[in-house]
Structure 1
Amino acid sequence: MTVQTEKKHYLNFINDEWVPSSTRAVIENTNPANNEDVIGYVQKSTKEDLDNAVATAKAAQKSWKKLPGDARGKFLYKAADILESRIDEIAETMTREMGKTLPEAKGETARGVAILRYYAGEGMRKVGDVIPSTDKDALMFTSRAPLGVVGVITPWNFPVAIPIWKAAPALIYGNTVVLKPATETAVTCAKVYECFAEAGFPPGVVNMITGPGSVIGQGLAEHPDVNGITFTGSNSVGKQIGQTVLARGGKYQLEMGGKNPVIVSSDADLDLAVEATISGGLRSTGQKCTATSRVIIQSEVYEEFKEKLLEKVKEITIGNGLEEGIWMGPSASENQLNTVLSYIQKGLDEGASLILGGERLSGDEFDNGYFIQPTLFENVTSDMTIAQEEIFGPVLALMKVESMEEALELANDVEFGLSASIFTTNIQKMLSFINEMDAGLVRINAESAGVELQAPFGGMKQSSSHSREQGQAAIEFFTSIKTVFVK
């Protein structure tokens, strides 16, 4: 295996080798907290590079799928140990590259370690069932067959956890992987792949290629030798990917946007609700698909909740995520910052009342970064843009309702259905919420953001292709059922 020769240049990983793109063109990645800080250079790959990666993965899959599950699991265990030994380094790179605070980055990297170990264990679990046959002299059972080559397309907001929670199950079930990470966080992802490289996977089993989504992402979707695509990202790109894969008969899995509500009932523990609303909506600068975006509050407690929320949000410290005591970092890029600012302006234009924040931060420590104030709106109606579209920034829309029935109707009045939470001490309200909320993840007296790695994750409506990731549910996408009849 060759090694990377230039400190700040990160290469593609194909067939157990670190290789430059065919044109040697690169893309510069900078720190969103200080755009003068260059994190590194990643490859601007071409279709030729992609074809090479896919061909390598296709050839490797023939022998990889023949390994026993426990043998495949040993590679994942080793990768987990190596990743764990590099948590501090990789977390620091993540913070520099996409802006989330160092404690959050360390937590995400530790989660990546846990995911690898979880799926390593899957290699020793059952992959089928014995089914009674009408023929007394026959044995009938099911087994699982891997898809083949899996294309993994991941976003920038979780550059360690999401690539791992897609690649790990793909690998343990006998597939090979070609990963296209988001360019904005490709250096962090390259460091994760260094752990895979050191773990000694057979050549061609794990591959990483960086470059424009229009070339590499779309190329994976179109490629006849890529048997399945797992994608997390925006709705517009996800639908294009899905349509492309469907047209050629491939299998696809899409996790896309959210417009996640929190309902604060009149009987809620308001301090708990405030804490969870802030954590769920503003941590990671609101850049989570499960982030709280709409806060639906019963009128009896609206003013009290609002005052408590304002008081706590004003205490948030903003700055470079590597610095101690910083709670919220910058937007991940200038483009993302401008998107958030444009939504804030739409809120103002459409008549919502801005009660806190709403501006880009400036001054010595902020001038070279993409920092924005935590922002709160009230007098928000469901037909407003900020109540309907995913912002992906630290913006909360407060919405007052008179009843639980109105709250549920409002919560469901969007095209998305990813996550939702309610704060209440009333069992009937809890049950109504669980039964009537159109979301793939519903949480009671807990923030909307977050799911445990052993549990299925995915959305309803326009948030997903109605498949599920993580936990044992992952086997449904990454394999096909094979029914066996033995006479």
Structure 2
Amino acid sequence: MRYFNYIDGQWKEPTSGEYRENLSPHDGDNLGEFPSSAAVDLNDAVEAAKRSFPAWRKLSFQQRASYLQKTADLLKKNMQEIGQDLIKEEGKPLAEGMGEVNRAISILEYYAAEARQPFGEVIPSVNADTFLYTTRAPLGPVGLITPWNFPIAIPVWKLAPALIYGNTVVIKPADLTPKSVYHVMKAFDEAGLPAGVVNCVFGKGSVIGEGMVENPDIKAISFTGSNQVGIQIQNKATANGKKVQLEMGGKNPLIVLSDADVDKAVEIAVGGAFKSTGQKCTATSRIIVEEGIYEAFRDRLVLRTKELKVGDPLNADTFVGPAVSKAQWAGVMEMIKTGKEEATLLCGGEIPLEEELVNGFYVKPTVFENVSPDARIAREEIFGPVTALFKVKNYEEGVRMANDTEYGLSAAICTNDLTLAQRFIDDIEVGLIHVNSETAGSEPQVPFGGCKSSSTGSREQGKTAIEFYTQVKTVYMDRM
């Protein structure tokens, strides 16, 4: 089946006439053909967003919110179909795939509710006759470039705030997971969203993404993806006077102190490292364990990792699904090969031999130890089911090691010591902090983002999203 771009309220074939197969990472099954669009398709989408902006921004917050709520209701109605398609095209296990659709619904409902929240503030003036206050204005058409690892949640957490605050949108979904965003576009269409308010153009980043960055009618770019691409976008977009928001990589540490419950800490480590096949920017890449419990923790972690079910993501008992693509799988296997040369392999690192998995991009969850802090697997983001163990003498050494990275997205600590937990919050150089929970996991009502090379620009999600998608106006109103 062929799917089309969504431009100006219509489903349109790409002018190139070219399409790309959307293949399942589990068995190579063809899930549909999606456009390989050209620059002219993007320009049509931008023009539609530009035309629709004046009328959309003039709607009340409650009117805009009604479309978000209707879209959420339609996603909820079709959740089983959408979740199954997400799982088939991304490889995320059943519970996580369905959970992600639920998360997208929650995000839309959250921003629909923002229509009834305060907007701007009144500030006392030095002049008794002056009414001094701030308000906010939308930017105009904004460009969204979204990744494959959260193919419905991340597009929605960009779309929902952009729309509720009065912007119009052109979105370029990831090539590897287009069908999830197709379902979102279909829901907006069925919700009756005015033509041109949301436009979706499928295609290569080198054509559609770059075109967004260069188009003068796109006023801002929000991007989630690799550091290499993100920095290129930032340099070009800022040179063209656009606002830029980047969410990029992570090399996230979990510190386990000697007073922690070992069994609970192991479950936290396993979840953070191996859920979603480790394909999260917030995944646990480094596990830093205090020496007093290192051996007990290591042995329990290896045993638990070997128990994890690798298999078809549609099976309820699967814990680790396939990598999203052959290229992604090959990159993970290359890093595992490097790890075997740099460190000691404790478990995993192999291709499963089950007959039903031979056509998929599978690898067994992998744990290394005796890893040098300068090793590639200690410093580079792997984006797969691979984690590394480190032994440290105490809390101080653990935090120094945790902070010794170019990234600063997420970090966690396992401890029953409240004082050290509070110190950790102050000492760790990240944007997302977890105490006695996984490094991965974020709720839609709070800000999401990191520091260092992990993020630039204002935070995503929660009330903070307003900072990126609007500009402040300060008003002095005096009596005549």
TM-score range, shorter chain: over 0.9
Aligned pair partner of 1:443 in 431, 434, 437: 434
CA contact (8 A) 2:244 2:457 kept: no
Aligned pair partner of 1:249 in 223, 241, 256: 241
> Any unmatched runs of 5+ in structure 1?
1-7
Cα separation, 2, equivalents of 1:320 and 1:193: 28
Matches within 5 A, 1:20-419: 20-35=13-28, 37-349=29-341, 351-419=342-410
Cα separation, 2, equivalents of 1:457 and 1:324: 29
Amino acid corresponding to residue 461 of structure 2 in structure 1: Q
User: Which range is displaced more, 404-413 or 314-323?
Assistant: 314-323
For residue 10 of structure 1, give the secondary structure of its aligned residue in structure 2.
coil
Amino acid corresponding to residue 144 of structure 1 in structure 2: R
Indicate whether 1:9 and 2:2 are aligned. Answer: yes
> Any unmatched runs of 5+ in structure 2?
none
Cα separation, 2, equivalents of 1:14 and 1:411: 46
Q: For residues 83-115 of structure 1, give each alpha carbon's deviation from its aligned partner in whole angstroms, at most 9, with x where no partner exists.
A: 000110000001110101121111000111110
For residue 103 of structure 2, give the secondary structure of its aligned residue in structure 1.
helix
Cα separation, 1, equivalents of 2:403 and 2:214: 34
Cα separation, 2, equivalents of 1:362 and 1:467: 45
Q: For residues 304-349 of structure 1, give each alpha carbon's deviation from its aligned partner in whole angstroms, at most 9, with x where no partner exists.
A: 0011111111111111111231111100100000010111111122
For residue 197 of structure 1, give the secondary structure of its aligned residue in structure 2.
helix
CA contact (8 A) 2:306 2:348 kept: no
Cα separation, 2, equivalents of 1:19 and 1:466: 34
Q: For residues 129-173 of structure 1, give each alpha carbon's deviation from its aligned partner in whole angstroms, at most 9, with x where no partner exists.
A: 111112221111100000101101000001110000000000000
Cα separation, 1, equivalents of 2:384 and 2:326: 12
Amino acid corresponding to residue 400 of structure 2 in structure 1: E
Cα separation, 1, equivalents of 2:415 and 2:441: 19
CA contact (8 A) 2:71 2:187 kept: yes
Cα separation, 1, equivalents of 2:138 and 2:166: 5
Q: How much has 1:246 moved relative to structure 2?
A: 0.3
Amino acid corresponding to residue 32 of structure 2 in structure 1: G
Q: For residues 278-318 of structure 1, give each alpha carbon's deviation from its aligned partner in whole angstroms, at most 9, with x where no partner exists.
A: 01110110001100000000111000001111111111111
Amino acid corresponding to residue 453 of structure 1 in structure 2: P
For residue 295 of structure 1, give the secondary structure of its aligned residue in structure 2.
strand
Aligned-residue CA RMSD in angstroms?
A: 0.8
TM-score, length of structure 2 as denominator length: 0.99
Cα separation, 2, equivalents of 1:196 and 1:360: 41
CA contact (8 A) 1:235 1:462 kept: yes
For residue 320 of structure 1, give the secondary structure of its aligned residue in structure 2.
coil
Cα separation, 2, equivalents of 1:223 and 1:273: 49
Q: How much has 1:466 moved relative to structure 2?
A: 4.2
Cα separation, 1, equivalents of 2:416 and 2:355: 46
Indicate whether 1:456 and 2:447 are aligned. Answer: yes
CA contact (8 A) 1:130 1:140 kept: yes
Corresponding pairs, count: 478
Correspondence for 1:5: none
Amino acid corresponding to residue 21 of structure 2 in structure 1: E
For residue 355 of structure 1, give the secondary structure of its aligned residue in structure 2.
strand
CA contact (8 A) 1:460 1:466 kept: no
Correspondence for 2:467: 476
TM-score, length of structure 1 as denominator length: 0.97
Q: How much has 1:360 moved relative to structure 2?
A: 2.1
Cα separation, 2, equivalents of 1:250 and 1:80: 30
Cα separation, 2, equivalents of 1:63 and 1:438: 43
Amino acid corresponding to residue 287 of structure 2 in structure 1: V
Correspondence for 1:3: none
CA contact (8 A) 2:95 2:316 kept: no
CA contact (8 A) 1:459 1:466 kept: no
Cα separation, 2, equivalents of 1:319 and 1:129: 53
Cα separation, 2, equivalents of 1:19 and 1:28: 17
